[in-house]
Amino acid sequence: MATMGNYCKAYPLHRFREFNGWQEKEQPAPGDKEQGTEDRQDFLFLQENLVVTQGIFLDEGIVFDAITPNWERFCADVLKFEVPQFEACSTTVEQVQSR
């Protein structure tokens, strides 16, 4: 079963290719498994763990997973990728109804 992370962000493929160490894993595009075609989507997903995937799941369709300090800097400085800090909601139903 596929694993869904807490956060990912879609970027155009050409943005990832700006990274000097970018090297795509050889995988067929979704829906092309029988034909074995190498065509890629226009958009890929940067996951919270800095792995790049074809879809929204952390562990499926992995296109790039060579996580290095240079890749981390590229994600932060060039792509401006940042995982938002989610705060737990502490408002109760009673507090909302009393407003």
Q: pLDDT digit string (tens) for 2-20?
A: 899 999 999 999 999 999 9
pLDDT at 35 (0 to 100): 40
Query: What does pTM read for this prediction?
Result: 0.74
CA 26-31-35 angle, to 5 degrees, is: 65
Q: How far apart are the first and last CA of the chain?
A: 43
Determine the average pLDDT of the residues in 68-73.
98
- The DSSP element (H or E) to which 47 belongs, if any, is strand 43-47
pLDDT at 51 (0 to 100): 97
For residue 57, list its beta bridge partners: 4
pLDDT greater than 60 at residue 56: yes
CB 30 within 8 A of CB 45: no
- The DSSP element (H or E) to which 15 belongs, if any, is helix 13-16
Provide the 8-state DSSP code for 46: E
